[in-house]
Chains A and B, each alone.
Chain A
Amino acid sequence: MTLARAIEIVKADTIVAPPNGQVELSGCFAADLMSDVLAFARSGALLITGLTSDQTVRTAMIKHLPAVLIIEGKDVGVEMVEAAREQEIAVFRTPLSKFEACGLLMQAGLRAARRSGAYPA
Chain B
Amino acid sequence: MAPDRDETTVRHMAEALGLTVLAGSACLDRPIHGALVSDLLSYVMASGRAGDVWITIQTHANTVAVAALASLAAIVVAAGFEPGDDTLSRAEEEEIPLLMSSQPAYVLAGRLFELGVR
On whether A and B touch (CB less than 8 Å), the answer reads yes
Binding site for B on A (CB under 8 A): 28-33, 36, 40, 48, 50-51, 97-100, 102-107, 112, 114, 116, 118-119
Q: Is the CB of A31 within 8 A of B110?
A: no
Contact residues in A for B103 (Cβ distance below 8 Å): 112
Q: Indicate if B40 sits at the interface (CB-CB under 8 A).
A: yes
Q: Is the CB of B113 within 8 A of A100?
A: yes
CA distance A105 to B37 in the complex (A): 14
Q: Taking CB as reference atom, which chain B residue is nearest A32?
A: B39
Known: A99-B35, A112-B104. A50 touches B80 (CB 8 A): no
Q: Is the CB of B40 within 8 A of A29?
A: no
Q: Is the CB of A107 within 8 A of B105?
A: no
Q: Is the CB of B104 within 8 A of A30?
A: yes
B112 to chain A, nearest CB (A): 7
What secondary structure prevails in chain B residues at the interface with A?
mixed
Binding site for A on B (CB under 8 A): 34-40, 43, 55, 57, 79-81, 102-107, 109-114, 118
Known: A30-B104, A36-B57. A99 touches B111 (CB 8 A): no
Q: Is the CB of B38 within 8 A of A28?
A: no
8 residue pairs bridging A and B, Cβ less than 8 Å apart:
A31-B39, A32-B43, A50-B38, A97-B36, A99-B109, A106-B109, A112-B103, A112-B104
Contact residues in B for A36 (Cβ distance below 8 Å): 39, 57, 79
A70 to chain B, nearest CB (A): 13
Q: Is the CB of B35 within 8 A of A119?
A: no
Q: Is the CB of B118 within 8 A of A100?
A: yes
A37 to chain B, nearest CB (A): 10
CA distance A51 to B37 in the complex (A): 12
